[in-house]
Structure 1
Amino acid sequence: MTSNNDPGVPPVVGVLGGGRMGAGIAHAFLIAGSKVTVVERDTASADAARDRIERALGKSLERGSLKGSLNDWARNLTLSTSYADFSSCGLVVEAVPEIWDLKSAALQEIERNLSKSAWLATNTSSLSVDGLAEQLQRPERFCGLHFFNPVPASKLVEVIISKHTGDEAKTLSLKWVEGLGKTPVLVNDAPGFASSRLGVAIALEAIRMVEEGVASAGDIDKAMVLGYKFPVGPLALTDIVGLDVRLDIAEYLESSLGPRFAPPQLMRDMVANGELGRKTGQGFFTYES
């Protein structure tokens, strides 16, 4: 089963990590016509990733954006717990949590299992692509592909070019994004890139306003949606991304760019209390399970 998208994607793609972002990336490549191998840390996580991806495919079929049956599309999906199964992939996208040591080790292990002609990308939303590249044997074949949550609905992918990224990798990465039916923006490596840096800055100020009692979360978001044409308010978006994820990014940006990115105490308290947003049912807003 293939899609009607421009066949600009590699025929076989790997994704490390089948959580919300990894599953979304796998879904995007599947519907663009790639065969996709997702590697997870254990069998239970791999089974959960399969369920997540197949649910996304099912929703696409229900909306009529895909033709055929779920079995037609799911047969191009492989779940594994072994990095060795990346050996046949033309491209592997790493999508593990935003923890430097975890990402760096994962990328090095992926590279050890890739053919020398394969390409490697990280889905980091804030960590230094230059720094990650410097840990690799073939940094010229590496770049950042920052997908946005939820991946199926988002039309944007931020392509991050490190000082080591080769011209061919740069050209191909733009082609891959367009092959997914999405729009690439090209950014040189810098803390937070373009999107995370601006998005987190707005979100942190909105959280400070709640903390200071300037206005309610709902009214702050309404002001940005109705007054500035944001598609979703900065606090609702923080709930979608996850307060824990944004806290990690803010702490990294604070260490790189200074105190203007210092996380508000309210944010720290909410994360400590497990109020992480949509995934826990409670953040700045309350969500039904």
Structure 2
Amino acid sequence: MVREQIDRIGVVGAGTMGSGIAQVAATTGYDVVMRDIESEFVENGFDTIDDSLGRLDSRGDLAEEPATIRDRIEGTTLLDDLGDCDLVIEAALEELEVKREVFADLERVCDEDILLATNTSTLSITSIASDLETPERVIGLHFMNPVPIMEGVEVVVGEKTTEAATDLAHHVAEDLGKTTWEADDKPGFVTNRILMPWINEGIRAYDEGVASKEDIDRGMELGTNVPMGPLTLADHIGLDVCLHASETLHEELGDRYKPAYLLTRKVEAGDLGKKTGKGFYEYE
């Protein structure tokens, strides 16, 4: 069984995804513990939250003052501080061994009825939970980036995840103002299984001279009613993130997921997209 009453949410990782999840949970009224391995990372997470809350407040999108929301979030570098949370969401590096280690530590500090969720976008929930004594309470809660803006959350059910854990995951995500869909624990789930080939094909089309990058993006936006084309979207996600996801899916599903050559070259050059100021486009 998993605890049904959720008042305090723990978040492992204070990066882009972790800080976004912490912000959304606090905005909804939950008390939050945001943990990372270094105090510098925690402070960077709070800076990201402050910037985001400030932008939302300036548009009149917050029901409370930013300071009130911010005060619900406690920062820490101690994993044991997550022990009194009712739900913990892991948003650490997208590396299987890192996540396995985090979940082994969480199993040690969290009561047996605490739902343990991972924000992984490509890795197997079953594999992450395989060495645990209680794999039935581990589930995927894949938030979309940027978390405060994007409406959707993908709920991914592992081989041993219980129905009660699945139901609770849907309920919590919906309580955070999100709309959920459910995926089986297969490579890429729904979003990245379909999205990564689309991005890679857009990159190949540009590399092979089918059209300019602007016309590829414009054609997809106007021709299929997506909000942004594949090259712009890749820049916003991060080209390194796209490459890592594509490599993971390529390993699992074969050549149809092989990363585009130009994507690999851009990452090797350090042009990772919007976060570095240059990817397929340049940013100030």
Calculate the TM-score normalised by the size of structure 1. 0.94
Secondary structure at the residue paired with 1:152?
coil
* Code of the aligned partner of 2:244: D
1:9, 1:180 within 8 Å by CA — same for their partners in 2? no
Q: 2-side partners of 1:25 and 1:112: how far apart?
A: 23
Q: Which residue of 2 aligns with 1:181?
A: 177
2:5, 2:86 within 8 Å by CA — same for their partners in 1? no
Q: 1-side partners of 2:155 and 2:5: how far apart?
A: 15
**Matching residue within 230, 235, 239 for 1:239:** 235
Q: Which residue of 2 aligns with 1:3?
A: none
Q: After superposition, what is the alpha-carbon deviation per residue over 1:43-100, rounded to whole angstroms, capped at 9, x for unaligned? A: 1111111111122222222222223323211111100000000011111111012111
Distance 1:10 1:55, change over 3 A: farther
Whether 1:137 and 2:133 are equivalent positions in the alignment is yes
Q: 2-side partners of 1:207 and 1:20: how far apart?
A: 25
Q: 1-side partners of 2:251 and 2:13: how far apart?
A: 27
Q: After superposition, what is the alpha-carbon deviation per residue over 1:215-243, rounded to whole angstroms, capped at 9, x for unaligned? A: 11111111110000011111111111111
* Code of the aligned partner of 1:102: V
Secondary structure at the residue paired with 1:104?
helix
Q: 2-side partners of 1:107 and 1:234: how far apart?
A: 34
Q: Which residue of 1 aligns with 2:122?
A: 126
**Percent identity over the alignment?**
39
1:9, 1:175 within 8 Å by CA — same for their partners in 2? no
Q: Which residue of 2 aligns with 1:113?
A: 109
Deviation at 1:286, TM superposition (A): 0.9
1:9, 1:176 within 8 Å by CA — same for their partners in 2? no
Q: Which residue of 2 aligns with 1:213?
A: 209
Q: Which residue of 1 aligns with 2:193?
A: 197
Unaligned runs of 5+ in 2: none
Q: 2-side partners of 1:161 and 1:189: how far apart?
A: 6
Whether 1:76 and 2:72 are equivalent positions in the alignment is yes
Q: After superposition, what is the alpha-carbon deviation per residue over 1:237-265, rounded to whole angstroms, capped at 9, x for unaligned? A: 11111110111111111110001111122
Secondary structure at the residue paired with 2:26?
helix
Q: Which residue of 1 aligns with 2:155?
A: 159
* Code of the aligned partner of 1:101: E
Aligned residues: 281
1:206, 1:220 within 8 Å by CA — same for their partners in 2? yes
Q: 1-side partners of 2:270 and 2:5: how far apart?
A: 38
Secondary structure at the residue paired with 1:245?
helix
Whether 1:12 and 2:4 are equivalent positions in the alignment is no
**Matching residue within 67, 92, 99 for 2:88:** 92
Calculate the TM-score normalised by the size of structure 2. 0.96
Q: 1-side partners of 2:99 and 2:210: how far apart?
A: 38
2:10, 2:85 within 8 Å by CA — same for their partners in 1? yes
Q: Which residue of 1 aligns with 2:26?
A: 30
* Code of the aligned partner of 2:7: P
Q: 2-side partners of 1:226 and 1:9: how far apart?
A: 45
Q: After superposition, what is the alpha-carbon deviation per residue over 1:135-160, rounded to whole angstroms, capped at 9, x for unaligned? A: 22211111000111111111100000
Deviates more, 1:111-120 or 1:73-82: 111-120
Q: Which residue of 2 aligns with 1:149?
A: 145
Deviation at 1:110, TM superposition (A): 1.9
Secondary structure at the residue paired with 1:71?
helix
Whether 1:172 and 2:168 are equivalent positions in the alignment is yes
* Code of the aligned partner of 2:166: K
Q: 2-side partners of 1:285 and 1:169: how far apart?
A: 42
Whether 1:264 and 2:260 are equivalent positions in the alignment is yes
Secondary structure at the residue paired with 2:142?
strand
Q: 2-side partners of 1:67 and 1:151: how far apart?
A: 18
